[in-house]
Amino acid sequence: MKGPEHEEATLQRVLEQIAAGAVDDAVAALDALLRADPTCRQGESTAALLRGLLHLQRGDFAAGLADALAHIAMHPEDPAGWLAMGRARAGLRDFERAERAFGEALARRPGWSDAHWHRAATRAALHDLGGAVEDLDQALLHLAPHAEGTAREARICEMRAQLRLMADDHDGARGDFIRAAAVWASRGRLDQRDRLIAMARDLGLTASP
pLDDT in tens, 27-85: 998 998 899 888 887 766 789 999 999 999 999 999 999 999 999 999 999 999 999 99
| 81-94 pLDDT, tens digit each | 999 999 999 999 99
What's the distance, Cα to Cα, between the start and end of the chain in Å? 62
- Stretch 148-166: mean pLDDT: 91
Among 84, 78, 130, 68, smallest CA distance to 107 is for 78
User: pTM for the whole thing?
Assistant: 0.86
List of residues 6+ apart from 35 with CB closer than 8 A: none
Q: Give the domain ranges of the chain.
A: 149-209
Q: Provide the 8-state DSSP code for 46.
A: E
CA–CA dist 98, 46 (Å, integer): 21
Amino acid symbol at 62 = A
